[in-house]
Amino acid sequence: MPSFIFIGGRNPGSQIITTPGAGTFIVPYFTENLRVRGWGGGGGGTGSLANASNGTVGLAGTATTFSGLTANGGAAAPPLPTSAQAAGGTASGGDVNTTGSSGGINAFQAVNVGQGGAAGGTAFGGGATAVIPLTAGRKNGTPGNSYGGGGSGATGLTGSGEYSMNGGGGAGFVQKVYALGVLNPGDSISYSVGAGGAGGVNAFVGGAGANGALVIEWDY
């Protein structure tokens, strides 16, 4: 158990955790409040066959948790043929719980329709699709932006033109402010940071979802 020397006064500080996986956070000395913000992992975009007639799905992003807080990952993009969108991740347990944006759907000869969904609670978006018409043939999807953006779908060619695949869903966002006494210096809190989902692998690969994160600030 760590020891703390209480000398009075505010002790501003922060920690950003971006490595996916589980861990333990030891609450530092603080005098006023401690804020936790979390994003899950973004969903992966759909891969493209050489003729763009179908596609392969990627993986969903996984959840970020901290004590009773949960920010779920974005869903993986569905394969063609479908007009369904990959859902954004939900969130729960916080003072603020924001669902991520859905991924874009597939479309024929259209611009930025297969983009990844943006994570909740952030201006960081999902991966963008290649500009249609393509200038250099088929393209892989682009990864989502940190934290928790969904990956875009790959693009492909048919006999009559270009096609963009489905994008992955953006992650959920959760935020909670803890007062001194609810959390106390020396408390040990288990957490997990969500991983972004891989894009679908085929002749052309969907964009990967971005990893999630925890941003913890005290006496800010």
CA–CA separation, 54 and 20 (whole Å): 31
pLDDT tens digits for range 112-139: 557 788 888 776 667 777 666 665 566 8
d(C-alpha 106, C-alpha 44), whole Å: 14
Q: Is residue 184 part of a domain?
A: yes
Structure confidence at residue 153 as a pLDDT band (50, 70, 90): confident
pLDDT of residue 81: 57
For residue 3, being part of any structural domain is answered with: no
Tell me, yes or no, whether 36 lies in a domain. yes
Number of domains in the chain: 1
User: Which H/E stretch holds residue 192?
Assistant: strand 188-193
**Gap between the Cα atoms of 117 and 166, Å rounded:** 10
| Assigned domain for 1 exists | no
Query: Residue 125 sits in which domain range?
Result: 15-220
Q: How far apart are CA 176 and CA 97, in angstroms?
A: 9
124 part of a folded domain: yes
Condensed to tens digits (0 to 9), the pLDDT of residues 41-100 reads 999 998 877 655 556 788 999 999 999 999 999 999 887 656 688 999 999 999 999 999
The string of DSSP codes covering 109-149 is S-SS-SPPPPPTTSS---PPPPPSS-SSS-B---PPPTTTP
The pLDDT of residue 3 is above 50: no
Taking residues 103-111, report their average pLDDT: 69
Reduced to 3 states (helix: H, G, I; strand: E, B; else coil), residue 20 is coil
pTM, rounded to two decimals = 0.88
Is residue 76 domain-resident?
yes
As given in the structure block, the two tokens for residue 75 are 């869903």
Structural Rg of the chain based on CA atoms: 20
The end-to-end CA distance of the chain, in Å, is 25
